[in-house]
Amino acid sequence: MDPSTFWYEREKDSLDIYILPLAKKLKECGVFGISSEEYLNYAMNFRQEWEIRGQEVVAEMREKILPTLMESSHQEVVMA
């Protein structure tokens, strides 16, 4: 299974379901003082950046790893 087919969407889901709500709760309770607001800002900025560049990042990572996968796949066939 090629994880690049779902990586972009799953990353967005993780940010929306886990990271952003946690950062919001940290800000609400103020447990980390001023840092709580910074964490929320970082999470929101990362979510926005992922929305804009996420598919490009996934494509770049796929292009980097694809030759390695092809090579190891070829070696497995030769060894078999």
Going from N- to C-terminal start, the domains of the chain cover 3-79
What's the confidence (pLDDT) of residue 69? 72
What's the confidence (pLDDT) of residue 49? 98
Each residue's pLDDT expressed in tens, for the chain with a length of 80 residues? 788 999 999 999 999 999 999 999 999 999 899 999 999 999 999 999 999 999 999 999 999 988 887 776 655 544 44
What's the confidence (pLDDT) of residue 72? 66
pTM of the model: 0.76
Distance CA 8, CA 58 (A): 7
Distance CA 62, CA 74 (A): 18
What's the confidence (pLDDT) of residue 77? 47
R_g (Cα) of the chain, nearest Å: 18
Give kind and range of the element (H or E) at residue 39: helix 34-79
